[in-house]
């Protein structure tokens, strides 16, 4: 992550519908009354001397056009991400008290105008007639840390870079751990980077709602990930359960492998994290030998995970808990690479400048992948839901369950909600999953379904959204694509934040006291 991006951590997670609606939205302009009240209070603390100096500085700068290139307060001269107070002339030396009080408040004091501030809090009497009211404004949420406003790249690599910088200052609130993924052991050392969720324990049920999941990371994203990626995994609003979602992203030259897991049951977080740790390794071991046999690779890898799960966890935990798993791979085909010496021609007869990419997926459960494309320059997306989720009442799934003596009941709360796979006191809203061994004798299987292969060419824009049902239960695929499609590819992280905020707000509006955990990975393929 060569450039900086907003820090995404528990402190920035939304806690109310209004917060959620505003999350990820840059703020600028005049301040609210609370900030104005704070600024006036701090001027009173600084005393008459500093206030007079501020007034003098304001007079000196009154003739300078706001935002001009020679203005020390113009955007081109600002530095930091809303973490310093900017003053000009001799007033800077007299504003130490104001600076020290405001330095951690993401507030900018503008000395160019002297307009009265609105007051939403109690009035404060100035200590001297020389005191002046100073306009106060918030910095833009994503202002660059350099000395000028430059093009901002808001992707997962920038987020990790920010987390690294913050962790250097706040070791007690570390959200990023430098840990290699086990799959990296089967690749050439240093050739792969990994991003994956940290282990969740029952103690995590006490972390704040909507807190982001701590992340493990290893490698060099800037060198090994050519695509724009946005990623967010945060806890929902379920007081008795920790965040049971999990994810991974593995990247090396020419290949991107990523996946989403959504645990269920009391120990569902253990199942999802077990899948995150072991599934990618089994995939990579087989991909090293043969990249083309995707169906065989996926099915054998899922089977190995289940065998390893029973061996490592015993039968008790996976008996009553389980997890979805949706795995996606973005790469070029071996045939395309072999014919790279003679680039194919497009319909207009012009040689294609890049090799086509392909997307392949395998899944169990109800975490879905959506693929969208549009012609370069077009505003309309062609949206495809790649995963036909495994509901118990899907005709082919229902047939298998009934053949094994299983029972499927309509949802008692609403006909619009999924039916339930019933087995004694256990009820399940899906017909395939990792774990859930209690249902296996009655028709539940762990074998993944393989989606049709998607080929991508550089004459179209493409995007991929893989997410848990915390997104899809509230935001239909077409809406999700239209929302993230409003952002540029290099704003993938910002787009994911907006999508997750939209889904979270709808959960609160429709379900009140329950919000599902949400994980979302957005990929803008680059050729």
The arithmetic mean of pLDDT across residues 450-474, rounded, is: 96
Q: How far is CA 465 from the centre of its chain?
A: 11
**Residue range 370-387: average pLDDT?**
95
Task: Name beta bridge partners: 519.
Answer: 233
pLDDT of 451 reads 97
Domain boundaries, given as residue ranges, for the chain: 33-138, 156-334+363-390+430-524
Show the tokens assigned to 361: 């997926």
Burial 172-205 (b: 16+ CB within 10 A, else e): eeebbeeebbbbbebbeeeebbbbbbbbbeeebe
| CATH no., domain 156-334+363-390+430-524 | 3.60.40.10
Dig out the tokens for 480 from the structure: 């999700």
Contact by Cβ (8 Å): 246, 268 = no
What are residue 479's phi and psi, to 5 degrees? -65, -40
Is 63's pLDDT higher than 60?
no
CB atoms within 10 A of CB 379: 9
Q: What beta strand segments (E) does 198-340 contain?
A: 215-218, 228-234, 245-252, 255-264, 322-323, 325-331
**What's the CA gap between 140 and 80, in Å, rounded?**
11
For residue 63, count CB atoms less than 10 angstroms from its CB and return exposed for 0-12, middle for 13-18, buried for 19 or more.
exposed
Tens-place pLDDT, residues 291-346: 999 999 999 999 999 999 999 998 888 998 999 999 999 999 877 777 765 544 44
Residue 19 CA, chain-centre distance (Å), reads 17
Q: Label residue 354 by pLDDT band (50, 70, 90).
A: confident
Q: What angle do CA 272, 404, 317 make, to 5 degrees?
A: 25
Rg (CA), the chain: 27
Whole-number pLDDT of residue 169: 58
Per-residue confidence (pLDDT) for residue 190, from 0 to 100: 77
Q: What's the whole-number mean pLDDT along residues 195-216?
A: 89
Let me know how many helices (H) and strands (E) the chain has, helices first: 14, 21
Share above pLDDT 90 across residues of the chain, in percent, rounded to a whole number? 51
Compute the distance between CA of residue 255 and CA of residue 478 in angstroms, rounded to an integer: 27
Q: Which residue has the tokens 């504003």?
A: 95
Grouping H, G, I as helix, E, B as strand and the rest as coil, residue 467 is strand
Angle at CA of residue 161, ends 160 and 165, nearest 5°: 115
Residues 88-133 have pLDDT tens digits of: 333 343 444 434 443 343 333 343 433 444 444 444 444 444 444 4
Residue 272 has pLDDT above 50, yes or no: yes
**Comparing 225 with 376, which gets the higher pLDDT?**
376
Predicted local confidence at residue 188, as pLDDT: 79
Whole-prediction pTM: 0.69
């Amino acid at each position: 992550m060569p450039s900086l991006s907003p820090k995404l951590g528990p402190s920035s997670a939304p806690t109310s519908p209004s917060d959620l609606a505003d999350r990820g939205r840059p703020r600028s302009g005049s301040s609210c009354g609370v900030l104005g009240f704070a600024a006036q209070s701090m001027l009173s603390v600084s005393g008459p001397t500093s206030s007079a100096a501020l007034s003098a500085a304001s007079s000196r700068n009154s003739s300078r056009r706001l935002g001009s290139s020679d203005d020390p307060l113009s955007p081109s001269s600002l530095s930091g991400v809303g973490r310093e107070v900017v003053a000009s002339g001799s007033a800077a030396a007299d504003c130490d008290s104001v600076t020290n009080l405001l330095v951690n408040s993401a507030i900018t004091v503008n000395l160019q105008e002297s307009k009265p501030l609105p007051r939403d809090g109690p009035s404060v009497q100035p200590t001297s007639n020389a005191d002046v009211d100073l306009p106060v404004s918030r910095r833009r949420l994503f202002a660059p840390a350099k000395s000028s406003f430059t093009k901002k790249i808001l992707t997962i690599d920038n987020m990790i870079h920010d987390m690294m910088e913050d962790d250097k200052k706040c070791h007690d609130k570390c959200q990023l751990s430098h840990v290699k993924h086990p799959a990296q052991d089967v690749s050439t050392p240093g050739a792969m980077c990994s991003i994956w969720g940290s282990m969740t324990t029952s103690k995590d049920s006490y972390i704040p709602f909507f807190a982001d999941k701590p992340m493990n990371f290893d490698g060099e994203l800037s060198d090994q990930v050519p695509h724009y990626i946005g990623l967010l995994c945060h806890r929902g609003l379920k007081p008795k359960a920790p965040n049971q979602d999990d994810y991974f992203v593995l990247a090396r030259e020419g290949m991107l492998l990523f996946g989403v897991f959504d645990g269920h049951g009391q120990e569902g977080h253990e199942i999802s994290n077990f899948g995150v740790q072991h599934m990618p390794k089994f995939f990579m071991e087989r991909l090293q030998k043969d990249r083309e046999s995707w169906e065989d690779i996926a099915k054998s890898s899922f089977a190995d995970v289940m065998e390893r799960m029973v061996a490592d966890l015993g039968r008790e935990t996976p008996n009553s808990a389980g997890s979805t798993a949706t795995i996606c791979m973005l790469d070029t085909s071996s045939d395309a690479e072999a014919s790279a010496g003679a680039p194919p021609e497009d319909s207009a007869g012009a040689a294609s400048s890049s090799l086509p990419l392909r997307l392949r997926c395998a899944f169990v459960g109800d975490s879905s992948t959506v693929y969208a494309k549009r012609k370069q320059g077009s505003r309309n997306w062609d949206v495809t839901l790649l995963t036909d989720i495994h509901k118990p009442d899907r005709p082919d799934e229902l047939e298998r369950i009934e053949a094994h003596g299983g029972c499927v009941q309509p949802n008692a709360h609403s006909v619009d909600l999924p039916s339930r796979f019933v087995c004694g006191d256990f009820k399940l809203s899906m017909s395939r999953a990792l774990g859930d061994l209690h249902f296996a004798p009655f028709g539940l299987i762990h074998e993944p379904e393989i989606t049709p292969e998607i080929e991508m060419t550089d004459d179209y824009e493409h995007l991929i959204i893989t997410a848990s049902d915390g997104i899809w239960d509230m935001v239909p695929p077409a809406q999700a694509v239209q929302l993230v499609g409003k952002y540029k590819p290099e704003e993938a992280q910002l787009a994911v934040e907006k999508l997750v905020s939209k889904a979270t707000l709808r959960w609160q509006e429709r379900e009140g006291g329950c919000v599902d955990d949400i994980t979302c990975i957005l990929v803008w393929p680059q050729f």
